Every structure is written in C-alpha cells, then in structure tokens.
Amino acid sequence: MFQSRNIGETLGVSSHFWLNQLATIINFSKRLSQTMRPSSPIIGNSQPMCAIRQLIDTIADSTATVLINGESGTGKELVAQALHYRSSRADANFVPLNCAAIPKDLMESELFGHRKGAFTGALADRVGRFELAHGGTLFLDEIGDLSLDMQVKLLRVLQERMVDPVGSSRPVSVDVRVVAATHRDLEVEIAEGRFREDLYYRLNVLPVTTPPLRERSEDIPLLIKFYAERFSQKSTPISFAPDFMDALKAYQWPGNVRELSNLIHRFSTLFAGQRLSLNAMPTPMLPKGLKKLQEDHAAAHPAPLAEPQDDAALFEEPHAADVLQLFPQEEPGQVPFSAPPEASDERNHVEDIILLAQGIATLPPDGVSLKERMAQIERAFIEQALDRADGNVSKTARMLNLQRTTLIEKIDKYRLRSA
C-alpha cells in the first residue's frame, strides 16, 4: 500500500493539491445527493389538484420552460419534482437552487461554475448547477428574488443553451429543462422595475398555478390522513373528532400544506395514537386562527358542567389518576414541579409546549374553571377509549378502570354514542 505522502511524491505534486481534489469530490457528491431526493406523492382530489396532475402529465416531457406561481407552502417544489420524475429526463439529475438563499456575489459561480483561481477562494474548479443538471431539470426556486444582473445572464443562457463558467474563456454547452417558481406576482415586479419583462416571457412559456389550501378545503382530510400516517410513531396514527375536523377544514391555512404538515407533526409527537377533539385541545397548541374557531365552538357547545355529586365521583373513582394524567401526582420525597411560567398576555408558547410535552398543563393567565376543564378531560378520554374499543362499553370501562354502570352514566351525561 502507498502512503499518501508517497502518492504525492511519486506524481510530483503537493499534498495541498490532493486535499483540494478531495474537497472538490466531497463537495460534488454532497450536492449530487441533494439532487436525488425521491419525489413525494401529490395529495388531493379537488378539481384544481386533478387539473394540476393532468397538466403535469401533459407538459412533463416538453423541453419548454415552466413557471410555477403560488403562495408559499402550496407545493411548487413538489410540482417541479413531479414534472422531472414523469419526464424522459427522470434518470438524470433534478437540481434545485433557491435564488433567495444564495448570496448575490456567489450566484454566478453557483449557477455556471468557476475555474480554479477565478477569484479569491476559488481553490479548485467547481461545476455549476446548470452543468450538474445536464440531461435533467434545473429548478430555480424563488426566481422573483434573482438580482437584475443575474437575470440578464440567465436570459442569455436560456436563449443560447451555453454557460460560461466564471474565469473560463470556453463556454460549455448544456441540455437542461428549466422549471422556475415564485410566490411573487412577477407582473407587479416588472411594473416596479425589479424583474425583466423579456426574462418573464422566456420563463412563462408553460404557466402552472398552485392553489392555496383554503380554496380546496375538501383536500384537507386527505392531507391530514396522509401526514398522520407519515408521522405516526405508534402503530395507530392520530385521528380527529368531527368537531376538530370541521375546524381544520374551516381554518384559512396561511402557510398552506407546509403549515398543515407541521401541525400534524406536532400533534403526532405530543398526542401519539390519540383521537383529538377541539374543545379538549390545549389552546397554546393551536395556531391563532384555529384558537378563534375553538372559542367559537366552545361558545356554541359548552362542555356540560358536572353536577356536584358527579364531581365527587370524578375525584373518588379509582381511575382519577389516569384522567388527571395531565397534572402528575407528586411522589413522596419528589420535588414538586415548578410553577408554570409567569402569567402574562405574552405567554411563552414554546415553554407551554415543552411543559405540555412533559405532561404538565400550564394555568392560563385568567385562571381556569377547574370543574369545566376536568369535565373536558374526562369526556376526551372516554371518547378516545370508546373509539379504541369500537364502541364496546365493557372494554371501554376496563380500559378506563371504571364500573360499567358509572361509564354508562357518563356516556349519557356527555351524550356520547356507544355501540
């Protein structure tokens, strides 16, 4: 075996040279692996989503440039991936580049590559994204954020299909299908002098618009099911009672599918395997618009307040420890849990979430009706247990460590259905 020093000596080059080569190879393979993410399915049976799927099938194999427009989180990148993986270019690379994330000075080298020594810090040749996408697809995300200088250079490449690596006098020919996307209204950008009209027409040969989630609320249950299954840590994915599902369908989803997937991830982590009802959901867990829907729902359907004798039963039942698991019992010799964070209008939601994840509910700033909250918790657990036992009362009673007759009284009290 050679020692690394000997290779350099044998070929008459310095170890510095080999380090540079190694860095280039690692860099290249890192960027290549970023291009190999498999495409996720596009979920949704609403009319706009069916139309988009059909459009993707129609235009996937064309080499014409696509411009995808839509709010953030509506699936622009997903559509770009689908166009690539359904085209005859699928075996070559899908190369994404976020124009808003690359510093202005590095953009040219990122897109077109550079030759060693082209500028300070250019220690080795670097292949640009256009060359990396040769035979495949280049996805220029947030194209509305590209500087005017770079817009000129991009237009030239799109017309001539040749790139000039920085510091090289020899242009390189590239065969690349370009898909661009933006959440901006490019016609407004043109009117305000921030986007070149000629580049807009060059990009907008095949326009695709991804609709906001609030305009296709019939897709929401399907998306929720998809993400609940994806994020389920236990074998049973979380599920939602009808009141909660109605609120999720009515909510405006300003962050679109990205926001939905993050919320389902949060619920799946904190309430793994449970059936969630809107009234029982701690308010800090909900985005602002959903909190409002929760308040409206609670006003329209107040949780039945427990009768005094029922209250006594609630605390005396052997299952009380289970029902009260959000408020852990103090063990002898154990340090009592610390007080909830300062009650103020600007409560720290992150702390709330951490406390809740540890099983500790925080006291809201204005206090709480303990009786009402207990009833909510009791109802939510009975609902979940009934659901898990497929409505079988005896099984549900065993699961909750309750007498069958007591459970039946509570089912009647909360007007819950059983089989």
Ligand X SMILES: Nc1ncnc2c1ncn2[C@@H]1O[C@H](COP(=O)(O)OP(=O)(O)O)[C@@H](O)[C@H]1O
Query: How does DSSP assign 101-155, residue by residue?
Result: TS-HHHHHHHHH-B-TTSSTT--S-B--HHHHTTTSEEEEETGGGS-HHHHHHHH
* Contacts for 367 with CB less than 8 Å, ≥ 6 apart: none
Place of tokens 């926001």: 259
Strands 66-70 and 206-210, by their bridges, are parallel
How many CB atoms lie under 10 A from the CB of residue 405?
10
* Contacts for 4 with CB less than 8 Å, ≥ 6 apart: 15, 18
- Closest distance of CB 140 from ligand X, Å: 12
Among 35, 44, 60, 77, binds Mg ion (CB under 5 A): 77
Strands 172-173 and 162-163, by their bridges, are antiparallel
Judged by beta carbon distances under 5 to 8 A according to partner kind, the member of ligand X, Mg ion, none in contact with residue 402 is: none
Q: How far apart are CA 325 and CA 361, in angstroms?
A: 10
Q: With respect to ligand X, which residue has the nearer C-beta, 66 or 78?
A: 78
Q: How far apart are CA 416 and CA 219, in angstroms?
A: 28
Q: With respect to Mg ion, which residue has the nearer C-beta, 77 or 108?
A: 77
**Nearest partner of 68 among 87, 55, 86, 50, judged by Cα:** 55
Judged by beta carbon distances under 5 to 8 A according to partner kind, the member of ligand X, Mg ion, none in contact with residue 257 is: ligand X
- Closest distance of CB 41 from ligand X, Å: 6
Q: With respect to ligand X, which residue has the nearer C-beta, 213 or 281?
A: 213
- Closest distance of CB 350 from ligand X, Å: 22
Q: With respect to ligand X, which residue has the nearer C-beta, 19 or 50?
A: 50
- Closest distance of CB 152 from ligand X, Å: 25
What's the N-to-C CA distance of the chain in angstroms?
75
Q: With respect to Mg ion, which residue has the nearer C-beta, 77 or 383?
A: 77
Q: Per CB under 5 A, which region of 42-50, 76-84, 204-212, 373-381 contacts Mg ion?
A: 76-84
- Closest distance of CB 396 from Mg ion, Å: 45
Q: How far apart are CA 166 and CA 388, in angstroms?
A: 63
Cα→Cα distances 18→3, 9, 13, Å: 13, 11, 8
Q: Which residue is nearest to ligand X (CB)?
A: 75
The site that binds Mg ion (CB under 5 A) totals a number of residues, namely 1
Judged by beta carbon distances under 5 to 8 A according to partner kind, the member of ligand X, Mg ion, none in contact with residue 153 is: none
Q: With respect to Mg ion, which residue has the nearer C-beta, 137 or 274?
A: 137
- Closest distance of CB 370 from ligand X, Å: 40
Residues of this chain that interact with ligand X (CB under 6 A) are: 40, 42-44, 70, 72-78, 210, 257-258, 261
* 378 touching Mg ion, by CB under 5 A: no
Nearest 5°: phi and psi at 13? -125, 160
- Closest distance of CB 257 from Mg ion, Å: 11
- Closest distance of CB 259 from ligand X, Å: 9
Judged by beta carbon distances under 5 to 8 A according to partner kind, the member of ligand X, Mg ion, none in contact with residue 282 is: none
Judged by beta carbon distances under 5 to 8 A according to partner kind, the member of ligand X, Mg ion, none in contact with residue 268 is: none
Contacting residues toward Mg ion, per CB under 5 A: 77
